[in-house]
Structure 1
Amino acid sequence: MIVFEAVHAKFGDALLLRYEQGRQQRLWIIDGGPAGIWKNFLKPRLGQLRGGAETLTVDLAMLSHVDDDHVNGVLQMIGGIAENRPGAATWLDIRRFWHNSFADLVGSEDAVKAGQASLAGLEQGARAAMAGAGTLAVAGGKLRSHRELAVLASIGQGRELRDYLVQLKLEGNSPFDDVLSSTSGHRDIDGAKVTVLGPRAPRLAALRKAWRNAAGSPAAVAGLFRDDLDDSVPNLSSLVLLVEIGKRKILLTGDARGDDIVAGLKDAMPDVELPMKVDILKMPHHGSDRNMTETFLQSFPADHYVISADGTFGNPEDNTLRAIVASRGPGEDYTIHLTNAIGRLQQLLPEISEGHAFKFAVRGAQDLSVAITLP
């Protein structure tokens, strides 16, 4: 049995994957959502899974990328354990952790330090702008969208997480033991075959060159975090994993772009023909249509589409839901799962489902997660 859960994470991601290997139960934690999610939803759900046991084994925890709506809860979890804070989930026995740190993305700690003076000032300004819902002025322009500000502000969180992982001896992306990218290949992890589809290695090379060129210039550093650029840090850095458990396939996409995911599969699995039917597709970037392409949806038809969003920033966007339906035949049976009931979708979903066989499921108001069970 396989159970995939999208924990209520507001506008972020906090996912759980449970499956059986022989007689042993396996548990993965993927991302931790924004502020408040760890305390109010993710930790309580893990507590339910723990039951009366002394510990709960987490076979794999991972952070798809450094962005506040993914990293905040992970940092609370890991930092609490590392510092043995009051109320920390020290009952979690985390066996391995996957994460590409910012130093991994830009090439080395020396590369980070080369631009650290500019970055430190921008981080502080980004946090202040987020707190006041304002803008961050830099030489040559401004950052104003939540995503631009949040990713820039999260770089410090990522460095803090890396230090905690070193302390807990969880660094290194074992058993890959390297930066995770579309050239990492696949590994067998506790009965699951995991193939890394992203980030794409050519994109990482381009990012490292851009970072070296930007070091020392606040405007150039800030430009790497612009949400309207095809080569922005958020689009480049998300881990994308194809997880195969028996005959089941689960595609974890973080906030990656649809075209990068398709290209990443061709990098990692050049002999595989598309379309590839998957059992569960975690939709990228909370259902934003900016990450969606027709080719992506046609390449990965799914039995279950999962969207973690609460309407913030317009996610999930109407165009994304319409595109999912348009990519499938009217008689095909599949389900769209939503972590939150969003008012405007109450009219849209019945409208786009007319003449189609698909279903939709929404997390119950009292439930901590929306769950999919694959026998």
Structure 2
Amino acid sequence: MFKLHVVQARFGDCLVLEAGSKQVPHFVLIDGGPPGNYAADLAPALQDIVGDGGKLDLVVISHIDTDHIVGVLELLAAIESDTVSEREPRQRIGGLWHNSFDRTLDPTGDLAQRMQSLMMTADMAEVAMPLSADAFYGLKEGNWLRRMGRKLAIPINAGFPDDLIMVETAAVVTLAPLELRIAGPDRDNLGKLRAEWLAWLEKAAEQMTSDPAAAATADSSIPNLSSIVVLASCDGRTVLLTGDARGDHIIDGLRAAKLSDSGKLHVDVLKVQHHGSDRNATRAFFEAITADTYVLSADGRDGNPDYETLKGIVETAHQQGRRITLLFTNESAASKKLKRTLKPSDYNYQVMMLDGARHHVTLTLSE
């Protein structure tokens, strides 16, 4: 048995892998969605999928953006409340995967200090930089996650050298029959991201001093954080979990992990990176990494998913003669435009939409 449960997460991500048998199932939670998502959708979804007192063998936080990590923090807080009240924990957790900001991008602490200084300056200048603020608060939430994990005696990054999940030092993790292979980040791309953050912070700080309005505009170009990318396989089926990683970094990571053939890979399910933002997903990516089903977790916030991303997926598959499915967690302006301008009947694709009255939808890859 191999299933992917796509949990409603509004503008964030929240997924559950299920593998094994009904008698001995394994569950992996990938991200938890934004603030409020646990009570609204993740808690009832886990009750339905895992059951009261059931075990999550692993919880993976792809990266520390608030729309990915906060739902997991809320889950841990609920489990702590159960423990303090001497109740049976609503779920048990076997392990956490989480790459801290300092281990991946900021070993000297310089980037965090510069980010804090920028946020203080923006606040004094009354300049709104919401994306930068989310990234800065994500650093604190990442630290909180680790404290909560230790408090609940949950192993963090067990078996990974230097407390860092990375292509070069990762082995295949098996929850028989499920296999998890790390496809990102890799050492080279961490170096590139670190350089991009340093350059962006220097430019943003200079603009904040000379032209605060320009600095606010620059907020839309904030660099990506490092995402854990995982290729999950079971019963001959595959799911590529991408977090918010950049498309070129995903291809690089797959190649570095020796999981792709000359930079190309076909999977059964692709969780489209960064909620379908065209900053992270290009037509070249969708030509190289193909799938039967594309999962897009977004609700239109920040323009995600972008129409150009959806168009690239559909046109590329049509040109390659592949029939595909697009699974949306929410209707958006882009999904409506896609169905209007590139009709499913003309481009040989189907659309699935998570019912607004339900907390999750299930893709069954094998029985």
Query: Normalization by structure 2: what TM-score?
Result: 0.84
For 1:38 and 1:101, how far apart are their aligned partners in 2? 22
1:196 aligns with 2:182: yes
Give the C-alpha shift of residue 268 in structure 1: 1.3
3-state SS of the aligned residue for 2:362?
A: strand
Is the alpha carbon distance of 1:328 and 1:318 closer, same or farther for their aligned partners in structure 2, counting shifts above 3 Å?
same
Deviations 1:114-151 (Å, cap 9, x if unpaired)?
6766555656x59xxxxxxxx6468xxx9745322211
Give the C-alpha shift of residue 205 in structure 1: 3.6
- 1:93 partner amino acid: R
2:3/2:362 contact within 8 Å kept: yes
Give the C-alpha shift of residue 104 in structure 1: 1.7
Q: What is the total number of aligned residue pairs between the two structures? A: 352
- Of residues 249-258 and 151-160 in structure 1, the stretch that sits farther from structure 2 once superposed is 151-160
Is the alpha carbon distance of 1:296 and 1:20 closer, same or farther for their aligned partners in structure 2, counting shifts above 3 Å?
same
* Cα-Cα RMSD: 3.3
Give the C-alpha shift of residue 370 in structure 1: 2.5
Aligned ranges for residues 216-235 of structure 1 at < 5 Å?
A: 219=205, 227-228=220-221, 232=223, 235=224
3-state SS of the aligned residue for 2:168?
A: coil
Q: Specify the alignment match of 1:184 in structure 2.
A: 169
Q: Specify the alignment match of 2:13 in structure 1.
A: 13
Is the alpha carbon distance of 1:104 and 1:122 closer, same or farther for their aligned partners in structure 2, counting shifts above 3 Å?
same
For 2:197 and 2:348, how far apart are their aligned partners in 1? 48
1:320 aligns with 2:313: no
Is the alpha carbon distance of 1:349 and 1:215 closer, same or farther for their aligned partners in structure 2, counting shifts above 3 Å?
closer
Give the C-alpha shift of residue 249 in structure 1: 1.0
Give the C-alpha shift of residue 212 in structure 1: 9.1
Q: Specify the alignment match of 1:49 in structure 2.
A: 49
Unaligned stretches of 5+ residues in structure 2: 209-214
1:6/1:369 contact within 8 Å kept: yes
Query: Normalization by structure 1: what TM-score?
Result: 0.83
Give the C-alpha shift of residue 264 in structure 1: 1.0
Q: Specify the alignment match of 1:250 in structure 2.
A: 239
- 1:101 partner amino acid: S
Is the alpha carbon distance of 1:316 and 1:278 closer, same or farther for their aligned partners in structure 2, counting shifts above 3 Å?
same
1:61/1:98 contact within 8 Å kept: yes
For 1:88 and 1:334, how far apart are their aligned partners in 2? 45
Q: 1:283 aligns with which of 252, 255, 272?
A: 272
Aligned ranges for residues 116-127 of structure 1 at < 5 Å?
A: 119-120=115-116, 125=120
Aligned ranges for residues 343-358 of structure 1 at < 5 Å?
A: 343=333, 345-352=335-342, 353-358=344-349
Q: Specify the alignment match of 2:65 in structure 1.
A: 67
- Of residues 330-339 and 203-212 in structure 1, the stretch that sits farther from structure 2 once superposed is 203-212
For 2:340 and 2:50, how far apart are their aligned partners in 1? 38
- 2:55 partner amino acid: T
- 1:311 partner amino acid: G
Q: Specify the alignment match of 1:92 in structure 2.
A: 91
Higher helix share: 2
For 2:200 and 2:353, how far apart are their aligned partners in 1? 44
Q: 2:323 aligns with which of 310, 327, 333?
A: 333
Q: 2:360 aligns with which of 355, 369, 372?
A: 369
2:167/2:182 contact within 8 Å kept: yes
Q: 1:168 aligns with which of 133, 152, 155?
A: 152
2:38/2:74 contact within 8 Å kept: yes
2:286/2:313 contact within 8 Å kept: yes
Give the C-alpha shift of residue 155 in structure 1: 1.1
1:308/1:340 contact within 8 Å kept: yes
Q: Specify the alignment match of 2:35 in structure 1.
A: 35
- 1:193 partner amino acid: E
For 2:32 and 2:257, how far apart are their aligned partners in 1? 27
1:251/1:282 contact within 8 Å kept: yes
Give the C-alpha shift of residue 87 in structure 1: 11
Q: Specify the alignment match of 2:288 in structure 1.
A: 299
- 1:67 partner amino acid: D
Is the alpha carbon distance of 1:350 and 1:246 closer, same or farther for their aligned partners in structure 2, counting shifts above 3 Å?
same
1:37/1:73 contact within 8 Å kept: yes
- 1:57 partner amino acid: K
Unaligned stretches of 5+ residues in structure 1: 127-134
Give the C-alpha shift of residue 78 in structure 1: 1.6
- Of residues 272-281 and 39-48 in structure 1, the stretch that sits farther from structure 2 once superposed is 272-281
Give the C-alpha shift of residue 91 in structure 1: 2.0
Is the alpha carbon distance of 1:215 and 1:44 closer, same or farther for their aligned partners in structure 2, counting shifts above 3 Å?
same
